[in-house]
Amino acid sequence: MLKRTVLYDTHVAAGARMVDFGGWEMPLHYGSQIEEHHAVRRSAGVFDVSHMRVAEIEGSDARALLRRLLTADIDRRAPGQAMYSCMLDERGGVLDDLIVYRRGDDRARFRAILNAATADRDLQWITSLASADGLRVDIRPQAQLAILALQGPESPAVLARAQPALAEHALPLASFRAAFVDGAFVARTGYTGEDGFEIVVPGEQVRALWQHLRNAGATACGLGARDTLRLEAGMALYGQDIDESVTPLESGLARTVELDGDRQFVGRAAIERQRAEGPRRQLLGLKLLGKGVLRSHQDVRSAHGDGQVTSGGFSPTLLVSIALARVPAAVAVGDTVTVELRGGAAQALVVKPRFVRNGKPLI
Amino acid sequence: MKVPPELKYTDSHEWVRWEKDGSATVGITDFAQESLGDLVFVELPQVGRPVKAGEPCAVVESVKAASDVYAPIDGEVLAVNQAAAEKPESINADAFGAWLFRLRPTDAAAKPAAHSRLLDAAQYASSIAEHK
């Protein structure tokens, strides 16, 4: 039995095509995925991402736990700042990628947002790590909370029209900053490569919030557009581009691994070993040079060995097929590789894994 | 969901229209385009290629997935619709207008009803109802 968010009936009434995503019945699109994609690049769109799991991590040892758990150092973040990082196993494999927010300045309250498909496993991992280290931490999943992502260049204007009181606190936020406003939580974060906000509210308030944002001009967007937007932005999708079989260094996520100091986070030894030896694989971008569509799991052949497409698709902004691919370390931007497409072999150009940002093509 | 009564259908979601000259025009159904989502790429067969019923002879790719289009009958490719390949979104807009290819049936004398693989509109409509 698939789980449903509070907005399930709202999506169905709006004509959404519902699909299974990580055990949740979620909207894929409401008619045209491409139009939803363009709405986010050009104006504003709203996504129901309530399948993602909010967890409060609080207590006198919460800080110590997060410094042990995550590749980036929460101590280096200011109150109200968001931190994107990875949670690794001892071998350096990625268990999840997540954002943790520092709440107050008492260093004892944090909020994490976990991927839907990995949330249960994450919570087990976090709890067992805390108990193995004898840390006093209260870890509380918040299943009653709903999450909307308002994304696109007109997001500030839409939020100001839809929720003036919330917007008063949200609009001054810099990128990757967050604030609590009367029981709501708003962060200037997203998964599209555009300006925007992620808003967390109690489930009983989310229908009204969704409706206000829609009335204020935000297009309802499904997970299909979310996927093409994040692919154009070059953002990894857990379970597809990253999983426990690869390290952040092999996934374009080296920037999330903060090795300065002697903070002993889980997986550090493996990461340091790999860094010393040099990772054998890397995640780069591909731009298809001919016709067709790159898809995940297609084989990539290069002069330096073989690789594989991890996420591929058609870019509605660039009108060409693009992909993220894991390839040998010697492959460089500007190289041409061969990809086994459905219809036969085709050439693709290796590019930086960042295709579109703030509405502008980067390749 | 549109299922025009004058057309024949396959269980793999192609439609077939018999033309006055005895040729057969083939496309994908409204159900197929809606299931696939926004189409972004279409690959058509070579004109002159002989095809067997059930053989993949075109590809339609959407934002979501790639799907083969199968020849509904034995025949030879007479013509292809380049306009549909250039504007794949035209298939989303009008699946029964944006045809993909036209076949000259191998068995020109056979009546449409003799092609045992094909479904009539009522049969097809009930088969897609089960998918829902």
- Domains in chain A, ordered, with CATH? 8-49+143-232 (3.30.1360.120), 280-363 (2.40.30.110)
Q: Which of B59, B63, B89 sits opposite A313 (nearest CB)?
A: B63
Residues 6+ apart with CB under 8 A from B101: B25, B26, B44, B45, B57, B58, B77, B78, B79, B80, B81
Whether residues A32 and B38 touch (CB distance < 8 A) is answered with yes
Angle, alpha carbons A288-A289-A295 (nearest 5°): 20
Residue A24 to residue A28: CA distance in whole angstroms: 11
pLDDT band (50, 70, 90) for residue A107: confident
Looking at beta carbons, which residues of chain A come within 8 Å of B89? Answer: 34
| pLDDT(B113) > 70 | no
pLDDT of the residue at A253: 98
Residue B62 to residue B40: CA distance in whole angstroms: 5
pLDDT of the residue at B132: 57
Whether residues A33 and B38 touch (CB distance < 8 A) is answered with yes
A325 is written with which tokens?
A: 């691919």
The mean pLDDT of A49-70, rounded to a whole number, is 97
Residue A269 to residue A352: CA distance in whole angstroms: 28
pLDDT of the residue at B109: 62
- Max distance between CA atoms of chain B, in angstroms, equals 40
A28 in reach of chain B (CB within 8 A) = yes
Question: Phi and psi (nearest 5°) for A86?
Answer: -115, 150
For B101, what's the count of Cα atoms within 13 Å in the CB-facing half-sphere?
28
Which residue in A314, A318, A283 sits closest to A300, CA to CA?
A: A283
Q: Domain extents for chain B?
A: 8-107
CB B93 within 8 A of CB B66: no
The C-alpha of B8 sits at a distance from chain A's nearest C-alpha, in angstroms, of: 27
CB B103 within 8 A of CB B48: no
What is the reported pTM? 0.93
pLDDT band (50, 70, 90) for residue B112: low
Please state which of the four CATH numbers 2.40.50.100, 3.40.50.410, 1.10.10.10, 3.40.640.10 is assigned to the domain occupying B8-107. 2.40.50.100
Whether residues B43 and A224 touch (CB distance < 8 A) is answered with no
pLDDT of the residue at B1: 82
Q: Which of B38, B41, B67 is most worth mutating to test chain A (most A CB atoms within 10 A of its CB)?
A: B38
Measured CB to CB, residues of chain B less than 8 Å from chain A are: 34, 37-38, 40-41, 43, 59, 61, 63-64, 66, 89, 92
- Other C-beta atoms closer than 10 Å to the C-beta of B46 total 9
For A94, what's the count of Cα atoms within 13 Å in the CB-facing half-sphere?
25
Q: What is the ipTM of this complex?
A: 0.82
Whether residues A228 and B63 touch (CB distance < 8 A) is answered with yes
> For residue range A303-361, what is the model confidence (pLDDT) as tens digits?
999 999 999 999 999 999 999 999 999 999 999 999 999 878 999 999 999 999 999 99
Residue A52 to residue A145: CA distance in whole angstroms: 10
Q: Which of B33, B34, B64, B90 is most worth mutating to test chain A (most A CB atoms within 10 A of its CB)?
A: B64
Whether residues B66 and A295 touch (CB distance < 8 A) is answered with yes
> Torsion over CA of A211, A213, A214 and A217, rounded to 10 degrees?
150
pLDDT more than 90, % of chain B: 84
Q: Which of A224, A291, A343 sits opposite B64 (nearest CB)?
A: A224
The mean pLDDT of A233-243, rounded to a whole number, is 97
Whether residues B61 and A17 touch (CB distance < 8 A) is answered with no
pLDDT of the residue at A290: 87
Which residue in B5, B7, B4 sits closest to B72, CA to CA?
A: B7
The C-alpha of A28 sits at a distance from chain B's nearest C-alpha, in angstroms, of: 9
> For residue range A180-237, what is the model confidence (pLDDT) as tens digits?
998 899 999 999 999 999 999 999 999 999 999 999 999 999 999 999 999 999 999 9
Which residue in A229, A102, A234, A213 sits closest to A158, CA to CA?
A: A213
Which residue in B83, B98, B92, B39 sits closest to A314, CA to CA?
A: B39
Whether residues B92 and A295 touch (CB distance < 8 A) is answered with no
Residue type, A216: A
A298 in reach of chain B (CB within 8 A) = no
* CA closest to A34 among chain B residues: B38
